[in-house]
Amino acid sequence: MSHLLQPLSVRTLHLKNRLVMPPMATAKASPDGSMTAALLAYYDEKSSGGAIGLVITEHCYVTRQGMNRVGQPSIADDGTLDGWREMTAVIHRNGSKAAMQINHSGGACSTATTGLEVVSASDIASPTGPGEIPRPLTRDEIAAIVGQFAAAARRVKEAGFDGVEIHAAHGYLLNQFFSPLTNKRTDEYGGDVLGRIRIHLEVIVAVRRAVGDDFPILLRLGARDYTDGGTRIEDSVVAASAFERAGVDILDITGGLTGYIRPGHDEPGYFAELTEAVKRVVSIPVMLTGGVTQAEQAEQLLVDGKADLIGVGRAILKDSGWAQRAIRAMQP
């Protein structure tokens, strides 16, 4: 059997193949973050035919202060649940599993968008944000954000999703704590790698407590900043091991402060140097996204042991029939 077609099970998540639609922002939610017909139609179209093993939604904010842009979906209160239940029903009816990515954008937010103060690990503007200088979070505020992630994860489960993904990449809040370029703290949330991932570990533990022992937790890790003085692969190896021990079930590996791009590279699986390093130190599945435009490329990355799951973003974004043709091409 093709590697791409092999099933994979993690806790209660049972995937029929290794193909994943990764999070891609649509800005199709209403201005207050609630569900719209356009957002439902988008995920209906992308998951139609059930060829995608797992659909991961775009990042959804856990609190309005962490909202990245107008039109970003919200999972910040129980009033969003009915809309998300419609979403999971659509994706499940089409034959795919669904996870929601939850996020706080931190220094990548703007006061103009949220109406609230911009906060982060330190008073350093996020490279992925509008350039506003954030205020460093206090310990009490960090604890409150940890609680907001946990409450959001509980809602994700109640809405019928099959898993929840914690966003810790692409220059958003958890990535801002992880990167030495944006984290200059001198308390227990700064300094060495274990200090800089303290908030991640607190989020993971709180999310696990909120969703129970069987519900799958994914974490998207910005594993390298590709910038002088930024996060290195060596940091992410330490972080990945700690995340597995804390209760993460799948690691979704991508870029850090440079976002989903690896500068100077566009070959299939261009983050493979990161997934290979992480796979050497963890026993949980590792996901690789970036540059894959053909089913054969995804297959080869799996055969070569670069990852356990392959995310295909832009090809599916451009062509909603891509996944069905790709899976059909791998069938005997």
Name all domains of the chain by residue range, CATH numbers in brackets. 8-330 (3.20.20.70)
- Whether the CB-CB separation of 120 and 106 falls below 8 Å is answered with yes
- Tell me whether residue 172 is one of the annotated catalytic residues: yes
**For residue 128, what pLDDT band results from cuts at 50, 70 and 90?**
confident
Quick one: pLDDT at residue 1? Answer: 86
Q: What's the pLDDT tens digit per position in 283-322?
A: 999 999 999 999 999 999 999 999 999 999 999 999 999 9
pLDDT of residue 279: 98
pLDDT of residue 198: 98
Residue with structure tokens 């206090």?
138
Query: Is residue 231 predicted with pLDDT exceeding 90?
Result: yes
Beta-bridged to residue 56, according to DSSP, are 99
DSSP character string of 65-91: GG--STT--B-SSGGGHHHHHHHHHHH
Model pLDDT, residue 332: 86
What is the structure's pLDDT at 205? 98
Rounded CA separation 265/49 (Å): 32
Tokens of 219: 């974490």
What pLDDT shows up at residue 127?
Answer: 86
> Which tokens belong to 168?
């810790």
pTM value is 0.98
Segment 261-287 shows an average pLDDT of 96
Read off the pLDDT band of 228 (50, 70, 90). very high
Question: Residue 186: its pLDDT value, please?
Answer: 98
In the chain, alpha helices (H): 37-47, 81-94, 111-114, 139-158, 173-178, 193-196, 198-211, 233-246, 272-279, 295-303, 314-318, 322-330
Q: Could you tell me which residues are beta bridge partners of residue 332?
A: none
The string of pLDDT tens digits covering residues 85-105 is 999 999 999 999 999 999 999
Find the catalytic residue in 172, 189, 226, 260: 172
